Chains A and B, each alone.
Chain A
Amino acid sequence: MIHPAGDEILERLWYAKEEGRTIASIAELPLNGDTAQAADALIASHQIRCGKTVELLPEGEERARGIVRRHRLSEILFAQVLEVDPHDAEQSACEFEHMLTERVVDRVCTFLGHPPSCPHGKTIPQGSCCRVYSRTVEPLITRLVDLPLGTTGCVVFIAPRSVQRLNRLAAFGVVPGSEVRLIERLPSVVLACGQTSIAVEDEIGREIYVRPMA
């Protein structure tokens, strides 16, 4: 069940802990609405404890960690992949943090290449997927134009403005599953698919997402 107000409290407490601050009482948190009610619920379910300061209990901490992870991964997804402007990215991330399931988050995390930090440079808490891929250097999926020159990637998906673009690329054999090699980025994007080299609009180069191959 979603408790936005409760989620917000947990998130704030995580941020405070991350920055080495302490929160003396719930009232200190710049929140509104039914905060008090939500706080009571969190206390009752042993997620936080109000002693001298407000503290995250293990269960609450685990939940907070999930919320922050979802928030920061969403920020990357919106800001860097979908190129939404920063303000909208932040807004949408605030909504996404409440609703993505763990499986979806792990997929997003994998898609983004298990990034270690958000666009603002804050650490993204690792999920189970990150622990499997202990090395988190290369993103799993990148835009075609971001491939190193001369390297090959397997097309994962294409997100074009128009269906006609999809069809024309497909006629050259560029569809999900095809291997493409980036030959040139400037002055125009040139890619090779099989034995065919094609020059495409820069925009199209940014719409083709590939998994880099060794």
Chain B
Amino acid sequence: MSQLASSCHRPADLPGAEPRLLLIGNPNVGKSLLFGCLTNRYVTVSNYPGTTVEITSARATIAGQTRLVIDTPGTNGLIPQSDDERVARDILLSSPGADVMQVGDMSNIRRTLLLSLQIAEHGVPFTLCLNMSDEARERDAEVDPAALAAVVGVPVVATSALRRWNLEHLKRDAVRPERARISVVYPAAIETAVLSIVAELAVDPHLATRGVALSVLAGDETLKPFLPAASLDRLDAIRGEAQSQLSQPMSWLIVTARLSAVDRILGNASMKQSLPRNNVREWLGAMTMHPVWGWPFLLAVLYIAWLFVGKFGAGIVVDFVQTKIFQEHLNVWTIQLIDLVARFPHHHVIANGILAPAYSGAVHLTIGQKVAQFIHDLLVGPYGVVTMAMTYAIAIVLPVVITFFTFFGILEDSGYLPRLAVMLNRLFRRMGLNGKAVLPMVLGLGCDTMATLTTRILETKKEMIIVTLLLALGVPCSAQLGVIMAMLGPLGIGLASVWVGVTLGTIFLVGWLASKLVRGKAGDFILEIPPVRTPKLSNILIKVLARTEWYLKEAVPLFVVGTLLLYVLDYANLLTKLQRLLAPIVVGGLGLPAQASNAFLIGFLRRDYGAAGLYAMQKAGALTPVQTVVALTVITLFIPCIANFLVMLKERGTKTGLAISGFILVYSFGIGWVMNLSFHLAGMS
């Protein structure tokens, strides 16, 4: 999630003149970790394919030379099957002259070489890094780099980025890429067509390669923007001519020819690998996907999450930080300090022996005293930056964000998430999606904004739209989730399950309806399942740190902005007017106190902030249990935050983004109204 905070670039935005070092490779081979090692910049590293969906770049000195190091999304080939794969291919095509480093998983040498062949066919010199060599050794799948280098003709370096092993050697070879000696022989009709296409594209030597020609023959539509428009008809004709001489689809013939070439290379280098050995981790991996045992395992994971994030993080830690640190000490000190600086006559309310922000006795003030009061209220008033924004952001939300990301990091690095996708594939089918959509949906529990970007790993527009909608509508992000958990605690199991039921019900119902309404179809469920790995504490800590930093940078300013907005509205006496304006909805429709309007107002900025406002109301006894459930459900189903809204517009287009937002607004208040009505009819309110 830190990509949001660090530089995200479209290929076109990258600085042009600098020499580049491109990291390219299959998904989940450790490119991002290696990128971090080479540049000392952190990008999110996880144990599942699709962690990187944007291009990340950073300047670094590699073996004494300056390079713009570029991390790309993982790809299985240079004929893209999804948006993130396309990003990787595009950057390769638009970086002529760059040093290319292919990163591969040593245990997966066959797939690694399949990609090497394609890079070679694009006529690009490269260095091959066989990463995760420690794991390969453990699994008895070691490959001799020297033997492979002799066959392939490029420098081959075995590394373990996780253990920082052999990276200096890698850096030396990274700036000395070579052209590969390996090649594939295709059926005669294809070879002839390749020659014709290369001749047709000869004006641009960077495009006139076997690789581009083969992509054209394989029917790669995504290549069109790179090809000269004038040649398109001619290329189609060449392709049609070649296909008419062949009995099988060319894309298939090309890929099988490549695979048999890989097997030949492996045969020559006598590096056939055996199938994985059975061991404890493999057993555990199988257990988590078992048709019977997978479910208790999933429940256990959820229960532990609840204990750690809900009970410990949102309960014990929040209580301690909010009450002991903020209310009893920090806020009191700040109030006393401000009172010393900004002087005007007033007495603070003493609640339970503690100095509170509320005060009385400020009458007949001079102009100077009014200015002092303004500054005082801005910082420590009921809508003060310290007493409200900082208390919410640091005391209520931060502990939850930290505990959640710790737990989530363990789940990510263990490789459990793709296994969850296996368990939930059938369920997601009902919503017009497939198991792969589990990844962005679960990521949404961390941050909906980042998760919306991750929808790029999905194959069809339909899936992307549905997941974007469901994320924005029904998946609370970590910050909000924590507040929700803290609020659900005192409600008891009955009302808490109303919230769970309505939220899950909404996801399934809206997903199901959307699957009927949105045109198109779901892609195939084909998902790589990474091996179960023991999470490494240092990676989790770094990840938690990066994500917490991101939260502080991203959310806290908005908290302050929201508070300022409330303060200004309050100061200008507009807040009560606005509350009166919203009364028919908030009071009449939802059956909530007028004050709850404030929470929904700031909910437009960030819904976790809105939730925190409701939490404060609940704690102050301003909400009955039934009101709490209604308010909580509405704020859960709200648009997550401004950042998410903007990303939605960017990724899905303005029209779709606005349609989704409009629907969410109407739906969230509508469902709150229905709930209030139902409680009313049931005689519970």
Complex alpha-carbon distance, A170 and B559, angstroms: 49
Query: B291 at interface (Cβ–Cβ under 8 A)?
Result: yes
Contact B79 A184 (CB under 8 A): no
Q: Chain A nearest CB: distance from B216 CB in Å?
A: 15
Contact B422 A171 (CB under 8 A): no
Query: B44 at interface (Cβ–Cβ under 8 A)?
Result: no
B248-256, B331-339, B614-622: which lies at the A interface? B248-256
Q: Which of B259, B275, B531 contacts A170 (CB 8 A)?
A: B259
Contact A199 B249 (CB under 8 A): no
Query: A16 at interface (Cβ–Cβ under 8 A)?
Result: no
Q: Chain A nearest CB: distance from B215 CB in Å?
A: 12
- Number of A residues contacting the other chain (C-beta, 8 Å)? 35
A10-23: contact bitstring with B at CB < 8 Å (1 yes, 0 no)? 00000000000000
Contact B259 A173 (CB under 8 A): yes
Complex alpha-carbon distance, A61 and B456, angstroms: 65
Q: List which B387-426 residues lie within 8 A (CB) of chain A.
A: 418, 421-426
Query: A198 at interface (Cβ–Cβ under 8 A)?
Result: yes
Given contact pairs A188-B435, A197-B531, A199-B526, A167 touches B422 in the complex (Cβ within 8 A): no
Q: Chain B nearest CB: distance from A6 CB in Å?
A: 35
Given contact pairs A179-B275, A181-B275, A184-B422, A204 touches B524 in the complex (Cβ within 8 A): yes
Q: Chain B nearest CB: distance from A45 CB in Å?
A: 40
Complex alpha-carbon distance, A166 and B291, angstroms: 27
Contact A195 B426 (CB under 8 A): no
Q: What chain B residues lie within 8 Å of A188 (beta carbons)?
A: 289, 422-423, 425-426, 435, 525
Complex alpha-carbon distance, A178 and B262, angstroms: 12
Contact B249 A163 (CB under 8 A): yes
Q: Chain B nearest CB: distance from A206 CB in Å?
A: 13
Contact B108 A198 (CB under 8 A): no
- Number of B residues contacting the other chain (C-beta, 8 Å)? 47
Q: What chain A residues lie within 8 Å of B276 (beta carbons)?
A: 192, 195
Query: A169 at interface (Cβ–Cβ under 8 A)?
Result: yes
Complex alpha-carbon distance, A195 and B527, angstroms: 14
Query: A183 at interface (Cβ–Cβ under 8 A)?
Result: yes
Complex alpha-carbon distance, A158 and B256, angstroms: 12
Query: A186 at interface (Cβ–Cβ under 8 A)?
Result: yes
Query: A201 at interface (Cβ–Cβ under 8 A)?
Result: yes
What is the interface of chain A mostly: helix, strand, loop, or mixed? mixed
Query: B76 at interface (Cβ–Cβ under 8 A)?
Result: yes
Q: What chain B residues lie within 8 Å of A163 (beta carbons)?
A: 249, 251-252
Q: What chain A residues lie within 8 Å of B529 (beta carbons)?
A: 190, 197-199
Q: What chain B residues lie within 8 Å of A201 (beta carbons)?
A: 425, 434, 524-526
Complex alpha-carbon distance, A115 and B527, angstroms: 35
Q: What chain A residues lie within 8 Å of B139 (beta carbons)?
A: 195
Query: A168 at interface (Cβ–Cβ under 8 A)?
Result: yes
B519-535: contact bitstring with A at CB < 8 Å (1 yes, 0 no)? 00000111111110000
Q: What chain A residues lie within 8 Å of B424 (beta carbons)?
A: 187
Q: Which of A175, A184, A194 contacts B291 (CB 8 A)?
A: A184
Q: Chain A nearest CB: distance from B504 CB in Å?
A: 18
Contact B81 A164 (CB under 8 A): yes
Q: What chain B residues lie within 8 Å of A194 (beta carbons)?
A: 108, 110-111, 273, 275
Q: What chain B residues lie within 8 Å of A107 (beta carbons)?
A: none
B200-225: contact bitstring with A at CB < 8 Å (1 yes, 0 no)? 00000000000000000010000000
Given contact pairs A164-B81, A201-B526, A190 touches B275 in the complex (Cβ within 8 A): no
Q: Which of B260, B275, B426 contacts A192 (CB 8 A)?
A: B275
Q: Which of A166, A170, A199 contacts B527 (CB 8 A)?
A: A199
The 3 closest A-B pairs by CB, nearest first: A186-B291, A171-B76, A170-B255
- Sample of 14 A–B contacts (CB below 8 Å): A165-B526, A170-B256, A172-B111, A172-B526, A175-B259, A176-B256, A178-B259, A188-B289, A195-B108, A197-B530, A198-B529, A199-B526, A199-B529, A204-B526
> What would 20 more interface pairs be, CB under 8 Å, given A167-B252, A173-B114, A195-B273?
A164-B524, A166-B249, A167-B218, A167-B255, A168-B524, A169-B526, A171-B76, A172-B528, A173-B110, A175-B259, A184-B290, A184-B422, A187-B291, A187-B294, A187-B422, A195-B108, A197-B530, A198-B526, A199-B527, A200-B524
